[in-house]
Amino acid sequence: MSEAVAHLGMTDITAAIAAQQLSAKEVVRACLLRVDDCNDRVNAFTAVYAERALAKAQRVDEQLRQGVALPLAGVPFAVKNLFDVAAQTTVAGSKILDTNAAAAADALLVQRLEARGAVLVGSLNMGEFAYDFTGENQHYGACCNPRNLAHMTGGSSSGSGAALAAGMVPLTLGSDTNGSIRVPSAFCGVYGLKPTYGRLPRSGTYPFCDSLDHVGPMARSVNDLAVAYNALQGFDASDHACAQRPVELIDATQRSRQPLRVGVLQGYFDPPEFADATRVVDTYAKALAATGARVDYCQLELAEAGRSAAFLITNMEGANLHYEKVIAQAEAFDADTRDRFIAGSLLPGAWYLRAQRLRRQYAKQAAQLFGHYDVLLAPATPIRAPLLGQKTMRMGASELNVRANLGYFTQPISCIGLPVICAPLLQADSNGPAPALGVQIIAAPWREDLCFMAAAQLADTGTTRSEVVATTKT
């Protein structure tokens, strides 16, 4: 049964439970078996809450018998381990936080999902303190890409992508500062949403870079992603960045009455050195054009400067957050993370101010572009998932550091907080499923609806899809 449930999406599960073909407890039990089957190979989960999950599933079944409406009844989900889970210590991919007190309550987004009948089953692997694009964690081990276990998942929401692709759960939550939802979504071949900065509250999550931190859902279909996003929305005053905006429910079956205006980003986003990634964008652009969309080519002139600004802001805010821990327990950090925090603590404050000014200028330029286009398309990653342990990648005649540059295309978009859906393009080779690539579907602030509209139209064409690919242990 666990194999069958692994292929079910969120809406499949809720439909089966509503038809009394399955109970919530049966679904959760099958999910836990699937995790047990797969996790020793994929290493997506760092903690499994079996007792809590089964008790919650039983309560969901009781509520359904009493006629309580639960739109996410029985949907198992898991969260990046920087989300608070009541009675558990929030480790954020580190060992240095192990001695902290356990969380008093679940993170707000966990509460919102469980209030609608979803069931938390565990916490997921991630890069230490979210400062990572690889999915390789010195303390908890590398998270392996279910599409090919010899390859990286991407990070820092590594377990969030891998758990979906392996069919362990149909829904995960991740965070994205510079691409940490979009990179693993692309590599693992799933959908991920980085919403507008301030759209979803970060309450009850461990921070990294306040100016750039986002939280969002990941799923295996556009519809499931929309259902999760609808459940997560709402203002919360405990996150100062959370905007007081109305909940705008997404209907992923809705199609635009007017042709979408699509801008394919060129220049910085179209380097010949990363031709595989840009060919995927062309594939998506042609698919949208076939649906009637008006496709044109454009540039974000300040994209490269925006990426530099995001680098500085991330480095300096992260360094400031962890300064005292680095001074007191430097040896307890992953060496790469520690060294980046040390470097950030040495940068001049004037650089940070210049970076923040550049962000405002860059946001104005982007706003002008959205006067002409509904959505913009750009690659999600420069290359397919590297091999585990790979340190460098090629860009023309240059060797670039993998860890720093897998966010080459995502960082400029995070810098100004634009909403993005990463949609996957899957391929196979003679050995079976190959690491995937993805495309960023980008809209103006607060226009997640347009991201979903374009993603759904692409799904209609069969261009984008996700699939369960991991095999169970023998």
Q: Which residues contact 300 (CB under 8 A, 6 or more apart)?
A: 265, 267, 268, 269, 306, 362, 365, 366, 369, 376, 412
Catalytic residue check, 56: no
Q: Rounded distance, CA 379 to CA 18, Å? A: 39
Q: Which residues contact 176 (CB under 8 A, 6 or more apart)?
A: 157, 182, 192, 194, 213, 214, 215, 216, 410, 414
Catalytic residue check, 156: yes
State the catalytic residue, choosing from 123, 180, 221, 466.
180
State the catalytic residue, choosing from 25, 56, 80, 194.
80
Catalytic residue check, 185: no
Structure tokens at 231: 């459940």
State the catalytic residue, choosing from 2, 94, 156, 175.
156
Is residue 60 within 8 Å of 51, Cβ to Cβ? no
Which of the residues are catalytic? Answer: 80, 156, 180
